[in-house]
Structure 1
Amino acid sequence: MTIRPVSMIGFDADDTLWQNEQYYRFTEQSFRDLLAGYAEGEHVSERLLEAEKRNLAHYGFGIKGFTLSMIETAIEVTEGRVPTETISEILMIGRELLKHPVECLPHAREALESLRGQYFLVLITKGDLFDQERKLAQSGLGDFFDAVEIVSDKTATTYRRIFGKHGEGPERAMMVGNSLKSDIVPAIAAGAWGVFVPHELTWVLEHVEKPTEAPRFREIADLSHLPALIADIGSGSNEIRA
């Protein structure tokens, strides 16, 4: 009996299924404009990135942590002289980030439609719980998924747990996403396939080298190529025979 090598597919959400990073870039520019009287824009961005790095362990990923990092940066850059009005404006642009519209990326819906029913589909995303739930609801893609996992971070342990909980383990699972650091490298380390779908904007803290030597690493230009890639894996020498 021939068993398909892939029975479960995990999908990242932000910048894989819908736009996300572009809204952070817009917000960061607004933040730089607010502090233009105190420091050059590049300096503000550098200090903000440093604050984000420090705060990930405390606040995790997402808009709330980003907003707190902006406030911390404003205090540092102004040496404690930031007006309360500016703090209020930072909070306002943070709230606006929580309201941004959900714009699905090209081919996302079509790919999910073609795979639904053939594979167990799981949305695996990290960030603010309420914000991720909001975006999933507004995207109109929720009905395509058999399960949803909103996690604090994505590690090999995370993927082993999810693929074991919902399926037959990572060996017969695939993770699809735009972040090499969060979606691809740890999924492959867990034993799954990792399919990299590059996005033109990726947060600098998500940058790592491509695991090109890993046998289960694949890269596609966009999600329109995913069904064919999965079919190719299934028809090749990667089949498991039992």
Structure 2
Amino acid sequence: MLGSEEMTQIFAHRGYSASFAENTMSAFIGAEKAGADGLELDVQLTRDGEIVVIHDEKVDRTTNGHGFIKDLTYKEIRKLNANKNGGKKESIPSLIEVFEWLKTNNLLCNIEMKNGLFPYEGMEEKVIELVRKYNLTDRIIFSSFNHYSIVHCYRIAPDIETAPLFLEAIYMPWVYSQSIRAKGIHPKHSTIPDHIITTTIQNGVAVRPYTVNREADLKRLFKLNCTAVITDNPIKAIKIKKTI
């Protein structure tokens, strides 16, 4: 199981998104320099079938462009600036670009399949094929709010860890996880009480809550020895972890 070590791991949510444009190479490189253990990023499919790293189904919020990823070609998407706050131009990365960079370090990588709104036919197969090509099998976790998608991932690649995402509290999440062969859960941090975290971990299921930015919430999870936290600010999380 990824991250079954004693210390709570720190995953940078969309990279070091507190200080860099989210889901950009700068945010990922910034997370590595900050000392994060892993990254969390989101994938969607372009009109011509390229896997790109962006959270929203549309490019409007995070770039200077408009429209749905599924309606734009990879070439069109690469022309957009994913750094809306000024500063240097940032392209929306392809998953290939991220994987080539991951080969230069030891970071773990949580890939969230963004296929709740649009099913993105064949996305799981494409992502898995790339994971295999870059020999990253033991460093990847697939997560999604679309649990059918991660079960599909498990069926075609049982050697790659899966972890369902939850917005609401779920009864006995370890039982549910085991039923879909997931080795972890990624719950919203405010919906999972202490005893559920510890019981889930005791039952062999990793717990990596998101998106944990407040000092009090980080302290709580570090004290519980939670498997990992997913945070926008890895530097802040590392500082707090050192005090526990």
TM-score range, shorter chain: 0.3 to 0.5
Which structure has the larger Rg over C-alpha atoms? Answer: 1
By relative contact order (CA 8 Å, sep 6+), the higher-ranking structure is 1
Q: TM-score, normalised by structure 1?
A: 0.33
The structure that is strand-richer by fraction is: 2
| TM-score, L = length of structure 2 | 0.33
